[in-house]
C-alpha cells in the first residue's frame, strides 16, 4: 500500500482546525485548493449505505462549512497563494484489510475495546489524490471526519494552508469517549438529540450515555410497560416511542456512536410511583431532603420480591431494544433513610432476614442477571463499589463521578471505569441554585467547569501502570435541572469537545508535547466556529478579537 511520504514537513503550525488532534500528524505549510470537481471515490467492495452516506455528508460539509480562517482579514491575505496553489482532485477511500466489510453502524456498537477506529490519511500537494484507508468502515468514518476539518473558504475557494498532510495510523488513546445527557429532568425532542449526536461525531465521541429516565419523568415508552411513560412522562408528546429510540440508536450508530442507556436504580425512581406506587418507597416524602438528594424523593423497594421481579423485567425490556453491549443500572445516591422510613421495606427485610445491603445485593443480582441473559455488561455509578457491596461481575464498568480522586479507589478494586468526575466534567455546574426558596447564587458543584479546567484532566492521575488497562476513557455530562432544548447547544459545546480530545489524543500531541490549553485554544476556536457553521449553537470562547489573534489574549501577553 502506498502512502505519501513526507520529506520536509514542519511540525504543527500555529493554526490548525483539527479537533481532536490526531495522535500522529505531519503537515506542511503549502496551500492546496480543493478542485471544483472534487470527488470522493469509494474504493470499497460492496460499500454499505451508511459509509456512502458519510461520504456524501463529508462532501456536503466541504461545500457548506465555508469556515473562514480565524486570522485578521479572515484569509484575505491568502488570495495570492491560492492563485498558484496546486489542486486536490479527489480523495480515495479504501480498506486496508480483507475482513468482511460491515456497516459503520455494526462496527460502532461492537464491544468496548474491540472497535477499530483507526485510520491513515495522506493529502499530497502534487496533484495526486488524497488517500484514506482503514481496517473498518468505522475507521474510515473517523478519517472522513478528520479530512473535513482541514478546509477553509475564501470567496468560494476551498483550501488548506498545511499541505502536504500525513497521518499514519491515528488511533484513539482510549476506547470510551462519551457524552451523557439527562432527558428526564427536562425533555429533549429527537431532533435535539440527533443534532447533539452530529456534533459528538465531529469530535469523534463514540458513546452517547443516555440517562433517559429519573425521578422527575419517565419518557421511555416500553411496550411491556406502557403505563410507565403513560403516567410518568411529562405529557403524551414528551415520550420516546420505540420508533424514536430506534431512530436515535440507528442514527448514532451510523455516526460512529454507541448508545449506552441508563435506567437509574434503585434510587432516582420516584416517577415510577405514578403507575406503580406498590414499587416505590418514600414516594414524594417530605421534606424531600431527608429522603433524596433532590426532589421528589422515591426509590424502588429493593427488598420487596415483586419489585425485584418488576425491576429485572424492566431492564430486560429496555436493554433488549439496544444493540450496545453496555447498559447502565445506575446506582447513585441511594438514600437509606428512605428505606428506614418505609414500613413495607422494613417488613420485607424482616421477612427475608436480610440487611439492607444484602437486599441491595439480591436486587443487583436480579437486575444484572437480567442484563447478563441478554449478553449485556452492566454499568454502575461509583457508589455501587465504593459505598455499597453488591457482588458485581468482574467486567462491570464503573462511572466515577463524585470526585476525580475516587478513580484510584475504583481501580484498587480492579474494576474497569469511565472518568465522569463532577469536579472536571459536569457541564451543569455553576448555573446557580435551582431549588426554590433559596436566594443562593451558588450551585452544588461550583464553580462552572470551564473548558480550560476540563482540559487539564489527567486520566492516569494516581493510576499505576498495572491499572492503566482499567481506564476505559471518560465523558462530560449534562444534568438538566436547568437545561432543556433552549440551552442545550451552548451549555454543551464546545466544552464537551475537551474530553473528546483528552481521550482520543491521550496525554501528548503529535509533536510529543503534553496537551496544553494555550496550544489548544486556537484549534478549539476553529472547531467551535465550524460547529456554528454546521448549525450547532456553540458558545463564543472569547471576543472575536482574540479568536482572530491567537495568543494576544493570554495572561500577560
For residues 533-552, which are near its own copies according to CB under 8 A? Answer: 537-546, 548, 551-552
Which residue, 141 or 218, has its beta carbon nearer to its own copies?
218
Which residue, 100 or 556, has its beta carbon nearer to its own copies?
556
| Minimum CB distance to its own copies, residue 320 (Å) | 28
**Does the annotation count 433 as an active-site position?**
no
The answer to whether 420 and 459 are in contact (CB under 8 A) is no
Which residue, 4 or 425, has its beta carbon nearer to its own copies?
425
* Binding-residue pattern over the window 67 to 106 for its own copies, x denoting contact by CB under 8 A: -------x--------------------------------
Which residue, 18 or 492, has its beta carbon nearer to its own copies?
492
Determine, following the binding rule CB under 8 A, whether residue 445 of this chain makes contact with its own copies: no
C-alpha to C-alpha distance for 468 and 460, rounded to whole angstroms? 7
- Piece of the chain touching its own copies by CB under 8 A; list 53-61, 349-357, 367-375, 476-484: 476-484
The answer to whether 210 and 262 are in contact (CB under 8 A) is yes
| Minimum CB distance to its own copies, residue 498 (Å) | 11
Among residues 456, 468, 508, 511, which is the contact residue for its own copies, using CB under 8 A? 456
Determine, following the binding rule CB under 8 A, whether residue 403 of this chain makes contact with its own copies: no
C-alpha to C-alpha distance for 317 and 486, rounded to whole angstroms? 31
Which residue, 244 or 433, has its beta carbon nearer to its own copies?
433
Q: In 3D, which of 284, 378, 291, 281 has the Cα closest to residue 331? A: 378
| Minimum CB distance to its own copies, residue 549 (Å) | 8
> Which residue in this structure is represented by grid cell 468560494?
156
Among residues 23, 69, 177, 185, which is the contact residue for its own copies, using CB under 8 A? 185
Determine, following the binding rule CB under 8 A, whether residue 298 of this chain makes contact with its own copies: no
C-alpha to C-alpha distance for 75 and 496, rounded to whole angstroms? 28
C-alpha to C-alpha distance for 384 and 379, rounded to whole angstroms? 10
Determine, following the binding rule CB under 8 A, whether residue 272 of this chain makes contact with its own copies: no
| Minimum CB distance to its own copies, residue 557 (Å) | 6
| Minimum CB distance to its own copies, residue 496 (Å) | 14
The answer to whether 140 and 108 are in contact (CB under 8 A) is no
Among residues 127, 226, 242, 432, which is the contact residue for its own copies, using CB under 8 A? 432
Radius of gyration of the chain (CA): 25
Which residue, 253 or 292, has its beta carbon nearer to its own copies?
292
Among residues 489, 504, 530, 534, which is the contact residue for its own copies, using CB under 8 A? 489
Among residues 59, 487, 506, 533, which is the contact residue for its own copies, using CB under 8 A? 487
The three-state DSSP-derived secondary structure of 126-162 is CCCCEEEEECCHHHHHHHHHHHHCCCEEECCEEEEEE
C-alpha to C-alpha distance for 384 and 369, rounded to whole angstroms? 16
- Piece of the chain touching its own copies by CB under 8 A; list 5-13, 125-133, 307-315, 488-496: 488-496
Residues in contact with its own copies, counted by CB under 8 A, come to a total of 76
> Which residue in this structure is represented by grid cell 485578521?
72
Determine, following the binding rule CB under 8 A, whether residue 218 of this chain makes contact with its own copies: no
Report the site for its own copies in 188-217 (rule: CB under 8 A): 215-217
| Minimum CB distance to its own copies, residue 164 (Å) | 30
Among residues 58, 116, 483, 505, which is the contact residue for its own copies, using CB under 8 A? 483
Do the bridges between strand 176-182 and strand 207-213 make them parallel or antiparallel, or are there none, so unpaired? Answer: parallel
Which residue, 316 or 480, has its beta carbon nearer to its own copies?
480
Among residues 89, 103, 189, 296, which is the contact residue for its own copies, using CB under 8 A? 296
Q: In 3D, which of 499, 422, 479, 554 has the Cα closest to residue 216? A: 479
C-alpha to C-alpha distance for 115 and 432, rounded to whole angstroms? 40
C-alpha to C-alpha distance for 123 and 129, rounded to whole angstroms? 7
Q: Widest CA span of the chain, in angstroms?
A: 85
C-alpha to C-alpha distance for 481 and 433, rounded to whole angstroms? 10
C-alpha to C-alpha distance for 417 and 382, rounded to whole angstroms? 9
Q: In 3D, which of 496, 516, 57, 505 has the Cα closest to residue 254? A: 57
| Minimum CB distance to its own copies, residue 196 (Å) | 15
Instruction: For residue 210, report the phi and psi dihedrals to the nearest 5 degrees.
Output: -100, 95
Determine, following the binding rule CB under 8 A, whether residue 307 of this chain makes contact with its own copies: no
| Minimum CB distance to its own copies, residue 271 (Å) | 8
| Minimum CB distance to its own copies, residue 267 (Å) | 16
Among residues 430, 458, 467, 533, which is the contact residue for its own copies, using CB under 8 A? 430
Instruction: For residue 275, report the phi and psi dihedrals to the nearest 5 degrees.
Output: -110, -25
Among residues 452, 458, 467, 533, which is the contact residue for its own copies, using CB under 8 A? 452
C-alpha to C-alpha distance for 245 and 249, rounded to whole angstroms? 6
Catalytic hit among 278, 333, 357, 433: 333
Which residue, 89 or 517, has its beta carbon nearer to its own copies?
517
* 122-132 b/e (C-beta count within 10 Å ≥ 16 → b): bbbbeebbbbb
| Minimum CB distance to its own copies, residue 520 (Å) | 10
Which residue, 250 or 458, has its beta carbon nearer to its own copies?
458
C-alpha to C-alpha distance for 2 and 94, rounded to whole angstroms? 12
C-alpha to C-alpha distance for 190 and 547, rounded to whole angstroms? 33
Among residues 435, 460, 461, 507, which is the contact residue for its own copies, using CB under 8 A? 435
**Where do the H-state alpha helices sit in 85-122?**
104-108
Report the site for its own copies in 512-531 (rule: CB under 8 A): 517-518, 521
State the distance between the two ends of the chain, measured CA to CA, in whole angstroms. 47
- Residues with a known catalytic role: 333
Amino acid at each position: 500500500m502506498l502512502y505519501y511520504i513526507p520529506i520536509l514537513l514542519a511540525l504543527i503550525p500555529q493554526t490548525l482546525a483539527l479537533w481532536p488532534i490526531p495522535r500522529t500528524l505531519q503537515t506542511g505549510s503549502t496551500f492546496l485548493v480543493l478542485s471544483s470537481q472534487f470527488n470522493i471515490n469509494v474504493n470499497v467492495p460492496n460499500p454499505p449505505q451508511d459509509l456512502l452516506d458519510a461520504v456524501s455528508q463529508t462532501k456536503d460539509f466541504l461545500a457548506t462549512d465555508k469556515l473562514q480562517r480565524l486570522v485578521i482579514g479572515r484569509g484575505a491575505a491568502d488570495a495570492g497563494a491560492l492563485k498558484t496553489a496546486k489542486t486536490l482532485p479527489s480523495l480515495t477511500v479504501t480498506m486496508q484489510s480483507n475482513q468482511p466489510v460491515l456497516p459503520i453502524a455494526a462496527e460502532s456498537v461492537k464491544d468496548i475495546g474491540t472497535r477499530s477506529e483507526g485510520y491513515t490519511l495522506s493529502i499530497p500537494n502534487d496533484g495526486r489524490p488524497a488517500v484514506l484507508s482503514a481496517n473498518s468502515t468505522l475507521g474510515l468514518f473517523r478519517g472522513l471526519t478528520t479530512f473535513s476539518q482541514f478546509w477553509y473558504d475564501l470567496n468560494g475557494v476551498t483550501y488548506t494552508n498545511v499541505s502536504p498532510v500525513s497521518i499514519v495510523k491515528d488511533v484513539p488513546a482510549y476506547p470510551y469517549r462519551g457524552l451523557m445527557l439527562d432527558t428526564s429532568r427536562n425533555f429533549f425532542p429527537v431532533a435535539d438529540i440527533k443534532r447533539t449526536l452530529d456534533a459528538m461525531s465531529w469530535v469523534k465521541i463514540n458513546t452517547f450515555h443516555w440517562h433517559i429516565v429519573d425521578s422527575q419523568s419517565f419518557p421511555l415508552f416500553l411496550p411491556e410497560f406502557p403505563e410507565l411513560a403513560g403516567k410518568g412522562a411529562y405529557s403524551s408528546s414528551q415520550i420516546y416511542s420505540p420508533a424514536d429510540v430506534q431512530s436515535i440508536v440507528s442514527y448514532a450508530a451510523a455516526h460512529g456512536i454507541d448508545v449506552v442507556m441508563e435506567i437509574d436504580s434503585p434510587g432516582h425512581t420516584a416517577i415510577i410511583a405514578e403507575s406503580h406506587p406498590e414499587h416505590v418507597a418514600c414516594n414524594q416524602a417530605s421534606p424531600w431532603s431527608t429522603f433524596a438528594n433532590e426532589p421528589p424523593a422515591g426509590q424502588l423497594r429493593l427488598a420487596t420480591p415483586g419489585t425485584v421481579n418488576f425491576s429485572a423485567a424492566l431492564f430486560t425490556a429496555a436493554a433488549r431494544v439496544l444493540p450496545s453491549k453496555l447498559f447502565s443500572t445506575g446506582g447513585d445516591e441511594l438514600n437509606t433513610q428512605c428505606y428506614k422510613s418505609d414500613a413495607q421495606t422494613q417488613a420485607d427485610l424482616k421477612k427475608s432476614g436480610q440487611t439492607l445491603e444484602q437486599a441491595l445485593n439480591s436486587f443487583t443480582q436480579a437486575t444484572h442477571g437480567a442484563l447478563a441473559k441478554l449478553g449485556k455488561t452492566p454499568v454502575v455509578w461509583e457508589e455501587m463499589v465504593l459505598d455499597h457491596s453488591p457482588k458485581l461481575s468482574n467486567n462491570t464498568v464503573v462511572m466515577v463521578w463524585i470526585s476525580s480522586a475516587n478513580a484510584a479507589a475504583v481501580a484498587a478494586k480492579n474494576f474497569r471505569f469511565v472518568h465522569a468526575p463532577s469536579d472536571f466534567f459536569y457541564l451543569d455546574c455553576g448555573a446557580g441554585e435551582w431549588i426554590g426558596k433559596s436566594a443562593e447564587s451558588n450551585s452544588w458543584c461550583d464553580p462552572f467547569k470551564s473548558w480550560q479546567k476540563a482540559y487539564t484532566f489527567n486520566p492516569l492521575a494516581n493510576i499505576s501502570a498495572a491499572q492503566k488497562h482499567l481506564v476505559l476513557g471518560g465523558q462530560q455530562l449534562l444534568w438538566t435541572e436547568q437545561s432543556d432544548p433552549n440551552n442545550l447547544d451552548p451549555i454543551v459545546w464546545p466544552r464537551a469537545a475537551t474530553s473528546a480530545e483528552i481521550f482520543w489524543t491521550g496525554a501528548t500531541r503529535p509533536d510529543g508535547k503534553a496537551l496544553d490549553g494555550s496550544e489548544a485554544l486556537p484549534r478549539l476556536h476553529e472547531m467551535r466556529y465550524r460547529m456554528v457553521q454546521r448549525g450547532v449553537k456553540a458558545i463564543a470562547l472569547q471576543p472575536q478579537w482574540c479568536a482572530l489573534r491567537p495568543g494576544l489574549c493570554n495572561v500577560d501577553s
